[in-house]
Chains A and B, each alone.
Chain A
Amino acid sequence: MLRFVDECRKEWRRLGVPDAVAGEMAADLEADLAEAQAEGVSPEAVLGNGFFDARSFAASWASARGVVPGAKRPQERPRWSRWALVLLAAVSFVVTLGGLAALGGGRQASVARVSIGHISASPFGGPHGVFIGPNLPSPVAFSHSAVFAVVGLLFVAAGLIGLALTLWLWRPWATRRRRRGFDDSVGLPSYL
């Protein structure tokens, strides 16, 4: 019986359970097992299957109590943060689409202007057979196109950053890792 408690102590030490907590659990266990023995009750009746695997038993108990460093249970996120993530994803998506539309619109405007310039520049296209010369886009047209491109690029970049941020924030939920000694599906120690 004492050997079982010692095995548990070793496991708790190995897991980094604080000495005070490990001492308290060991004392409770020892007192319970001693009382059971005095009443002629088998340790198995007190510890169940845990009696046959002290290390798993100790790890499960410590894990369930949340006293294993670095094995804290992932906290449930508040509802508002989920909605915030959904909102961030939606806004990012819309901003990305807006950016793409701005880029497409700027390019269309440029193409339209260049086409007009070509027709006007044709030596046979002048209304009076007069060579008009290349009809270059005006500086104002250039600045409009550039503004479209810059704003579009900025929007696309911001939208993509927003989508990436959403994925990064969402990842801990999707890749919640299974912890040793704990059954997430039912929230109970795995050997129970």
Chain B
Amino acid sequence: MLRMAVPGSRRSQLLRGVLDLCLLAVMDEGAAYGYEMTKRLAARGLSIVGEGSIYPLLGRLERDGLVDTRRAISNGGPPRKYYSLSRQGRKALAAGISEWQATREAVDSVLGRIKEEVG
């Protein structure tokens, strides 16, 4: 039997599909360590409270060669692991953005019509 996802669960599911892309996007602004990326995401309204963590995702991106890493001293703090986009990561980001835009437009064209009817 099909069940509709509850709103919170739907947000999680949507986030699962694009969080890696969002991480690559914030890395495109410059190398960053884990918590710094969380802050960049939050500054754009993407809070991960109640969601999963970005650390396993960063691990996967690293393993897949989409990010380069280096250890460096942070602002007066302990050495941190900085993540930056690799060449492969840039390609993946570009491809992912195209996919996201195409998907978003298609979904908008379906849901937007309903919204007009309801409104």
Contacts and interface: CB of A to CB of B under 8 A. Distances in A.
A42 B115 CA distance: 37
A29 B57 contact: no
Interface stretch (A46-54, A118-126, A132-140, A159-167): A46-54
B38 to A, nearest CB: 6
Please classify how large the interface on chain B is, using the bins under 10, 10 to 19, 20 to 34, 35 or more. 20 to 34
B98 interface: no
A94 B12 CA distance: 51
Q: Which one of B35, B47, B51 has the highest number of Cβ atoms from chain A below 10 Å of its Cβ?
A: B35
B96 interface: no
A187 B74 CA distance: 31
Q: Which one of B19, B38, B60, B78 has the highest number of Cβ atoms from chain A below 10 Å of its Cβ?
A: B60
Interface in A162-191: 186-189, 191
A45 B55 contact: no
Contact of B59 (A32, A35, A42, A64): A64
B60 A48 contact: no
A31 B80 CA distance: 8
B47 A192 contact: no
A19 interface: no
Contact of B35 (A25, A46, A64, A73): A46
Q: Which one of A24, A61, A191 has the highest number of Cβ atoms from chain B below 10 Å of its Cβ?
A: A61
A80 to B, nearest CB: 22
Interface of B: 16-17, 19-20, 33-35, 38, 42, 47-57, 59-60, 62-63, 74, 77-81
